[in-house]
A and B are shown apart, each in its own frame.
Chain A
Amino acid sequence: MPFGNTHNNFKLNYKNEEEFPDLTKHNNHMAKVLTKEIYAKLRDKQTPTGYTLDDVIQTGVDNPGHPFIMTVGCVAGDEESYEVFKDLFDPVICDRHGGYKATDKHKTDLNFENLKGGDDLDPNYVLSSRVRTGRSIKGYALPPHNSRGERRAVEKLSVEALNSLDGEFKGKYYPLKSMTDAEQEQLIADHFLFDKPVSPLLLAAGMARDWPDARGIWHNENKTFLVWVNEEDHLRVISMQKGGNMKEVFRRFCVGLNRIEEIFKKHNHGFMWNEHLGYVLTCPSNLGTGLRGGVHVKLPKLSEHPKFEEILTRLRLQKRGTGGVDTASVGGVFDISNADRLGSSEVEQVQCVVDGVKLMVEMEKKLEKGEAIDSLIPAQK
Chain B
Amino acid sequence: MPFGNSHNKLKMNYTAEQEYPDLSQHNNHMAKVLTSEMYANLRDKETPSGFTLDDVIQTGVDNPGHPFIMTVGCVAGDEETYEVFKDLLDPVIEDRHGGYKPTDKHKTDLNPENLQGGDDLDPNYVLSSRVRTGRSIRGFCLPPHCSRGERRAIENLSVEALSSLEGELKGKYYALKNMTEEEQQQLIDDHFLFDKPVSPLLLASGMARDWPDARGIWHNDDKTFLVWVNEEDHLRVISMQKGGNMREVFTRFCTGLTTIEGLFKEKSHEFMWNEHLGFVLTCPSNLGTGLRAGVHVKLPNLSKNEKFGEVLKKLRLQKRGTGGVDTAAVGGVFDISNADRLGFSEVELVQMVVDGVGLLVEMEKRLEGGQSIDDLMPEQK
> Chain A: residues with CB nearer than 8 A to chain B?
1-11, 13-15, 18-22, 25, 46, 49-52, 54-55, 58, 61-62, 77, 141, 144-150, 152-153, 177, 203-206, 208-211, 213
Contact = CB atoms under 8 A, between A and B. Distances in A.
Given A7-B147, A50-B6, 7 more contacts: A4-B3, A7-B4, A7-B51, A20-B148, A50-B4, A55-B2, A206-B2
Nearest to A208: B62
B177 interface: yes
B310 interface: no
A50 B12 CA distance: 13
Nearest to B203: A203
B55 to A, nearest CB: 6
Interface stretch (B17-25, B160-168, B223-231): B17-25
B4 A147 contact: no
Contact of B2 (A10, A22, A147, A153): A147
A7 B205 CA distance: 16
A145 B210 contact: no
Contacts of B5: 4-7, 50
Contact of A7 (B13, B49, B61): B49
Most chain A beta-carbon neighbours within 10 Å: one of B1, B25, B152: B1
Contacts of B358: none
B54 interface: yes
A61 B2 CA distance: 16
Contacts of A19: 147-149
22 contacts: A1-B3, A2-B55, A2-B77, A7-B5, A10-B147, A11-B147, A14-B153, A20-B148, A50-B7, A61-B209, A61-B210, A62-B209, A77-B2, A141-B10, A144-B1, A144-B2, A145-B2, A147-B54, A149-B11, A149-B18, A205-B1, A206-B1
Interface SS of B by simple majority:
loop
A213 B21 contact: yes
Nearest to A203: B203
Interface in B33-68: 46, 48-52, 54-55, 58, 61-62
A55 B1 CA distance: 5
B211 interface: yes
Interface SS of A by simple majority:
loop
Contacts of B49: 6-7, 10
Given A50-B5, A58-B1, A62-B209, A10 B177 contact: no
A147 B11 contact: yes
Interface string B172-184: 0000010000000
Contacts of B50: 2, 4-10
B252 to A, nearest CB: 34
Contacts of B11: 147, 149-150
Given A1-B3, A4-B5, A6-B46, A49 B145 contact: no
Contacts of B209: 58, 61-62, 204
Interface string B246-284: 000000000000000000000000000000000000000
B19 A4 contact: no
B210 A152 contact: no
Most chain B beta-carbon neighbours within 10 Å: one of A3, A46, A52: A3
